[in-house]
Chains A and B, each alone.
Chain A
């Protein structure tokens, strides 16, 4: 039988199977069951305070979710939050990568410093920024007052118009290093020849960036965009620590809605349905980015 398999699947295919197997095994054991189980739950009307009736309802939960006004509020919040976070993170990361890619004394020190925000656990990160934003003791108030930008201490996180942006700021601060790192790694692989050729052609700094660096960064950028989108859209820790969905519904994102529905309202069925809607959206977005920016994939 082995000989038959050998004939059917070429050397390439067999190697690939072997090389990919360990990953698939781990994912099967740990990830497959929870994912499939939540899908199964999303097809049933499961409310924990009513444990004896768990009817199968097909896609009813999903329809109910689309009907829920809170869902659309959460979509709006999540969209703003994700767009802002991803855009600013990528932009900042690009600038930082350009800076750190240059050769100058102290470059190494800066590269080491880069990892500090990333090394901060989200719990500590959330607390730290909450403390900075504090209306009575916070650093932000003190700083702005000193600089003369505000007249007196004001409320930051508790101001519903600013809440999302302030949380995004904390997220961006923490995520930027990874994005910058990925871009730097890609940048380092750009051959010097390309730059020299461009210079010979008379290209200035900005043109070199536009025509040599940017195109070569496509895989790196794709990586960053996909990852940042995937995690920003699902951000939960910061919301749990900083605002718990408030004030009002200012920071009521999809992740928070899922948490509330599952653990506070004890409605596992609709909670799972919401998760799947979010999951599918994330997948489609990632696929779109990969399609447009990826090379062979």
Chain B
């Protein structure tokens, strides 16, 4: 960063105050609802249904989380079955033991999709953004066009395809499906970033004797770190959040992802709000952790001197 001349104090204070104000609003907006989620996950069912609501848990307890982590696989027999209706919240839904395995599935699928995504879309984005070839526009529009048909319409035929490939209820089915639904947009992200990179650099590289691979490796990739991270994040989070296809393509905890298991708790006879909120908190933690780790790379792009000229 360049050294800036000393500025007068008043505008600096103004700037500081403005920044603080907006930051506070931002934090409230972004983190507020989630803070409420966390708070209610630490409360018991009775505390949660109090009016007016308890902003902070009066007696915070980790029992919901405990229940999730200790719900192991058990052989359900007449002796070990849980009686009573889980709808009223005093009981742990049967699917509780599926929460952690599904978390693992979601992570696996997400990482595979993110990595494969980069491999596929970087090359295609480069070709469309940089190379002038016949059918450039057509390719882009065709790729984008695969994403205009609403998911619910594709559910039944997709089920047929996956079934014919013998992949029903496998992590592979989800990876392949999510690749197809994320690639068009990651290509789009990368294209628009590649276009911002001055063509002179490309020409310089070609003159130096680099072929397309070389240009990609030496010019475009290093300068696109923020966009690559954005694309990775997008691919991972889309897989993490996806619901409709996962519902249809998976049958049991072998391949079910987090949203499916959580929806099983809430959508009907097994509702316990504090427990569901705890499950929700767990659903948010891994991506946020990954984000904290990766956001550094988004920022690092700004020091790339060549782009800033």
Contacts and interface: CB of A to CB of B under 8 A. Distances in A.
Question: Does a CB–CB distance below 8 Å link A and B in the complex?
Answer: yes
Given A15-B212, A23-B187, A35 B154 contact: yes
A123 B259 contact: yes
A131 B23 CA distance: 26
A79 interface: no
A16 B180 contact: no
B276 A127 contact: yes
B157 A34 contact: yes
Interface in B119-154: 119-121, 123-124, 126-129, 131-134, 136-137, 139-141, 143-154
25 contacts: A12-B131, A16-B131, A19-B124, A19-B212, A20-B124, A20-B127, A27-B146, A29-B176, A38-B154, A41-B157, A95-B22, A120-B283, A121-B280, A123-B263, A128-B277, A137-B48, A137-B50, A186-B196, A191-B307, A193-B308, A219-B196, A234-B151, A254-B150, A268-B156, A280-B148
Contact of B176 (A30, A35, A127): A30
Interface residues of A, number: 104
B31 to A, nearest CB: 6
A132 B1 CA distance: 44
A156 interface: no
Contacts of B161: 29-30, 33-34
Interface size class of B (residues with CB under 8 A): 35 or more
B141 A236 contact: no
A206 interface: no
Interface string A221-261: 01100110010001011000100000000000011001100
Contact of B119 (A22, A30, A124): A22
A34 B241 contact: no
B287 interface: yes
Contacts of A219: 192-193, 195-196
B128 A191 contact: no
Nearest to A111: B295
Return the 8 tightest CB-CB contacts between A and B, nearest first: A275-B153, A119-B287, A115-B291, A34-B157, A124-B280, A19-B127, A37-B157, A16-B133
A254 B150 CA distance: 10
A219 B141 CA distance: 16
Interface in A1-51: 11-13, 15-17, 19-20, 22-24, 26-27, 29-35, 37-38, 41
A142 B19 contact: no
Given A27-B180, A111-B298, A278-B150, A15 B287 contact: no
A55 B233 CA distance: 46
A120 B51 contact: no
B87 interface: no
A207 interface: no
Interface of B: 1-2, 16, 19, 22-23, 26-27, 29-31, 33-34, 36-37, 40, 48-53, 119-121, 123-124, 126-129, 131-134, 136-137, 139-141, 143-154, 156-158, 160-161, 176-177, 179-181, 183-185, 187-189, 191-193, 195-196, 211-212, 226-227, 230, 233-234, 237, 240-241, 243-244, 258-259, 262-263, 266-267, 273, 276-277, 279-280, 283-284, 287-288, 291-292, 295-296, 298-299, 301-302, 307-309
A230 B280 contact: no
